[in-house]
A and B are shown apart, each in its own frame.
Chain A
């Protein structure tokens, strides 16, 4: 059972377009992480957001943590084929190191 729901589950867009992926939960997390996973590889950490309302930018990627620390979004500007992959959000609980992963968003950027 996964407590973090991501939407959309699949997204296929043209190169150069913008997109947003959402990560929602009814649970509060101490922090939220975003990962990208390529086929046959493990997830690779992109960013950690910690404070409610926090916004972090990583080149063309913008990450936001919701004010109530229950949800997050990932916005990609001018998507490129290299952005293709499985995007995963993951929440950290309080007082432990266990990660709860989201259901995943499979993104395909068409050249």
Chain B
């Protein structure tokens, strides 16, 4: 389809393992966002890219979290030495990215997320 695609949909890993989560944005979308959603809560911002440039990574919880978008399209969120508190749904969103100033940005379109469980 033409929406944001995330893979895998489910990931189970043992504590201490490294994981990589993939996001395929909508074709032509300039901006790409990663959010973390704990069970029963609203998503929390992790990081965002405009093309290949990572403009804001203020939401990354620790230096174990790393995101990249080397060619300005597909993005990967990597978590090293996973811990149980990393268990959550990781959502990716993309947008046309043109900041319209006062009056709101282009809307973000979300994927269905990757549910990560750390045992």
Answer yes or no: B24 CB below 8 A from chain A CBs: no
The answer, yes or no, to whether A82 is at the interface (CB within 8 Å) is: no
Nearest B residue to A32 via CB reads B104
- A30 to B101 CA separation, bound complex (whole angstroms): 9
Interface string of B39-78 (1 = CB under 8 A from A): 0111111001000000110000000000000000000000
Closest-CB distance, A63 to chain B (whole angstroms): 13
Cross-chain contact of B42 among A40, A95, A103 (Cβ < 8 A): A103
Mark out the residues of chain A between 31 and 72 whose CB falls within 8 Å of any chain B CB in the assembled complex.
Answer: 31, 33, 40-45, 48, 50
Q: Is the CB of B41 within 8 A of A97?
A: no
Q: Report A3 CB to chain B, min CB distance, Å.
A: 10
A100 on the interface (CB 8 Å rule)?
A: yes
Chain B contacts with A in 71-119, Cβ cutoff 8 A: 91, 93, 95, 97, 99, 102-105, 107-113
**A106-B91 Cα distance, complex, nearest whole Å:** 19
The reply to whether A43 and B112 contact each other, CB–CB distance below 8 Å, is: no
Q: Are A48 and B107 in contact (CB under 8 A)?
A: yes
CA distance A96 to B45 in the complex (A): 13
- Cross-chain contact of B112 among A4, A40, A88 (Cβ < 8 A): A40
Q: Which residues of the partner chain A approach B42 to less than 8 Å between Cβ atoms?
A: 2, 4, 6, 88, 90, 101-104
Query: A56 to B114, alpha carbons, bound, how many Å?
Result: 33
* B4 proximal to A (CB < 8 A): yes
Evaluate contact between A96 and B56: CB separation under 8 angstroms.
Answer: yes
CB of B110 within 8 A of CB of A97, answer no
Chain A contacts with B in 60-111, Cβ cutoff 8 A: 88, 90, 92, 95-104, 106
Q: Known A-B contacts: A98-B48, A98-B56. Give 10 more (CB < 8 A).
A: A2-B41, A4-B42, A42-B93, A42-B111, A43-B110, A45-B109, A48-B104, A50-B102, A97-B105, A104-B40
10 A–B pairs (Cβ distance < 8 Å), ordered by A: A31-B105, A33-B107, A41-B113, A50-B103, A88-B43, A92-B105, A96-B56, A97-B48, A100-B45, A101-B44
- B: which residues have CB within 8 A of A? 4, 31, 33, 35, 40-45, 48, 55-56, 91, 93, 95, 97, 99, 102-105, 107-113
